[in-house]
Amino acid sequence: MSLADLVSSVRRYAGIDHKRDIADLAPLMPELPKGFCRNGDDASVIPGGQGWTLLAMEGFITEFVESDPWFAGWCGVMVNVSDIAAMGGRPTAVVNAIWDQGHDSAKLMMQGMADAARTFNVPVVGGHTNLHASGPQLAVAIVGQAEALLSSFAAKDGQTLVAAIDLRGEYRRPYLNWNAATGAEPARLRGDIELLPHIAERGLASAAKDISQAGLLGTLLMLLECSQLGADVDLAAIPRPAGISHSDWLCSFPSFGYVLSCDSRYLPTLLSLFAARGIDAAPIGTLNTSLQLTVREGLEEDLFWDLLEQPLMGLGGKSQAKFQVKSRSQAEGYSPYTAIQTLEDAYPCPL
């Protein structure tokens, strides 16, 4: 497959198209209170007290819930935990809304949630149940806490893009869900997810995003729109399992997968943290001010998306809110709370 054909195929992927739906609803969002942040990130950030409270929610496609209700329940916890981690936070608790026509799928969904809750050590503290619905449906919300933040709005021109993905898994068919979680030791998974708040608190990265159903390029595009940046990406540098095509991998949803941006001086330390836990991480490109996502493979280069011509979510731009961000000292040391900086741009909330 030529690079042009690959780009065209991935650009048409339904996971990216679903993100474009956000643009239809974004103008209808009510105005946020003064000091709050705009929408567009993996979790909302609620200021107040020590650190920040994080709030996120996931809803699941009906076909997925119908075909694999246990895994849908598992993912209800896992993807929410990943979203909290992408913001530099740690999960506190989850709640759910389970609907079904009868009990069979509902029990499997609840069992999947219970299994994942034990694995990630996050309690399920309540929810809503309706077993007289027309079919199975699932939504899960999570609350977390962060001492330092990562954000899709915090990427900077000239920074290095890093992809970190756990390749120790396999597809859970029929979807392109790369499952490196359900067969792993719980202690390992908890240690892996702890990397993200550790990275935030050491100041090793400024922006991060959990690779979603939009795939790696779609997820990166969301980050670029929020930070009003462009990027050049080397497809050959993206960590990828042996035997998996680019066309499948770029549309895949990995159980552990993040795109981060960092200053070049922190890159070796950042990569070493992932490598120490057996997670494949690599620099895949550089941020620029073009508002274009360009990809290359070998001697070929192609434009994947031009945000000036075609916005994705319609959520780009800067917020006027201000936070006093307390972060642990930078990569050279790890003394608590020695670095305090004022950010003019708010950390954003999700839609």
The amino acid occupying position 162 is V
CA distance 47 to 25: 25
The closest of 192, 193, 194, 166 to 180, measured between CA atoms, is: 166
Please report the pLDDT score of residue 127 as a whole number.
94
pLDDT of res. 40: 80
**Sequence ranges of the chain with CATH classification 3.90.650.10:** 3-19+148-343
For residue 197, count other CB atoms closer than 10 A to its CB.
Answer: 22
pLDDT of res. 23: 67
Query: Which pairing describes strands 292-297 and 230-234: parallel, antiparallel, or unpaired?
Result: parallel
CATH fold group of domain 52-146: 60s Ribosomal Protein L30; Chain: A; (3.30.1330)
* CATH code reported for the domain at 3-19+148-343: 3.90.650.10
pTM of the model: 0.88
> What's the Cα-to-Cα distance from 54 to each of 85, 92, 191, 219, rounded to whole Å?
10, 9, 20, 20
246-277 pLDDT tens trace: 999 999 999 999 999 999 999 999 999 999 99
- CATH 3.30.1330.10 location in the chain: 52-146
Q: What is the mean pLDDT of each run of 10 residues along the chain (351 residues)?
A: 92 75 72 69 85 94 95 97 98 97 95 98 96 96 96 96 98 94 97 98 98 94 95 98 96 97 98 99 98 96 93 64 38 31 34 34
pLDDT value of position 343: 34
End-to-end C-alpha distance for the chain, whole angstroms: 35
The partner residues of 139 in beta bridges, in order of sequence, read 59, 97
